[in-house]
Amino acid sequence: MILFLPKDIWENKQGAPFGETPYPLKVGYHTGQDFHTTPVGKIPVIAPCNGYLTTFPFSKSAGWWGYFKFNHNGEIYSLKILHMYKQMKDGEYKAEDVFGYCGATGLSITKKYGSSFIGESHEEQTSDKAVGHLHVELHKGEFKHETNQVKELADERIIDPIINFEKWVNEMLSKNTASPAVSEKQEGPIQQSKTVDFKEQKEIRQKEEKPSNLQSKTDNSVWVKIVEMLREWLKVKK
Ligand SMILES: [Zn+2]
C-alpha cells in the first residue's frame, strides 16, 4: 500500500477536509478530502495497490471521474477520484501505475466567480473560474452512486481517506521492517524502510504555522529546527 498522491502534495496541499460541516452538499458534510493540485494536468494520481478502475462519462459536477476498487486485508474499498484533467481508462492497475493527472473539470467554486462548471479544455481548466484540485473519497465496499445522496448510507460507508491511508501505509511499513521475508510483491514495492509519523509531522507543521501564545520564542525555534530536520529527512528519502 502506498499513497495515491505524491508525498509533497499529500503533506502540504490538503484542502477542505473530510467531514467538514459548512460544505453545501446533500448529506450535510464534505464526503471526501480535497487536495490543491496545480498546475492542472501535472500532478499524477497513483494506484495505491493492485485493483480495478471504473470510469464514467464527463459529469458537470464531477468532471472526469471514476473509482478504484481494491482489496485490503480481505476487505473491499472503493476510492473515488473527481475533477481529473482528462478521461481515464477502465481496467486493472498495479500499485504505482498512474490513473491520470489532476485537473479542474466539473464543479468549481471560487470566491470571485461563485460556482462554475468547467469543461474539458485546458483553457477552461486554467481559467480564473477553475480551481485545480482533487476531491477523493474512500468508500467501504463496492461503490454505490446513492451513497452520496443519503445521509445514513454516507455515514455508514464513507470514511476518511487521510486517516485510513496513513494507517495502512504505516502498518505495511512496520510489517515489512519486522519481517522482511513477507511477500512484498502482493502489496507493491515499498521504498521507505521506516514508519512515517504523519500525525507528528502534521502537528509540528500546525505549531509552526500557528504558535500558541503560551509558547516562548525558544520553544518556537526548537520546533523550527525539528521541522527543518524532518524536511531534510524527507528530501533524502526522495
Ligand atoms: Zn471536495
Of 153 and 216, which is predicted with more confidence? 153
Domain topology for 7-166: Glucose Permease (Domain IIA) (2.70.70)
- Give yes or no for residue 42 having a pLDDT over 60: yes
> Please, which residues bridge with residue 46 across strands?
98
> Please, which residues bridge with residue 81 across strands?
66, 136
Please, which residues have CB less than 5 A from ligand 1, an ion? 32, 34, 135
Local confidence band at 55 (pLDDT 50, 70, 90 cut-offs):
very high
- Give yes or no for residue 236 having a pLDDT over 80: no
Are 10 and 48 a contacting pair, CB within 8 Å? Answer: no
Distance 39 CA to ligand 1 centre (A): 18
pLDDT digits 0-9 by tens, 89-110: 999 999 999 999 999 999 998 8
Are 66 and 93 a contacting pair, CB within 8 Å? Answer: no
- Give yes or no for residue 181 having a pLDDT over 80: no
Task: Indicate the domain borders of the chain.
Answer: 7-166, 197-238
Distance 30 CA to ligand 1 centre (A): 6
- State the pTM of this model: 0.76
pLDDT digits 0-9 by tens, 129-162: 999 999 999 999 999 999 999 999 999 999 999 9
Distance 158 CA to ligand 1 centre (A): 13
* Cα distance between residue 92 and residue 116, in whole Å: 33
Distance 65 CA to ligand 1 centre (A): 13
Question: What's the confidence (pLDDT) of residue 130?
Answer: 96
Q: How many residues does the chain have?
A: 238
Of 144 and 201, which is predicted with more confidence? 144
Question: What's the confidence (pLDDT) of residue 194?
Answer: 55
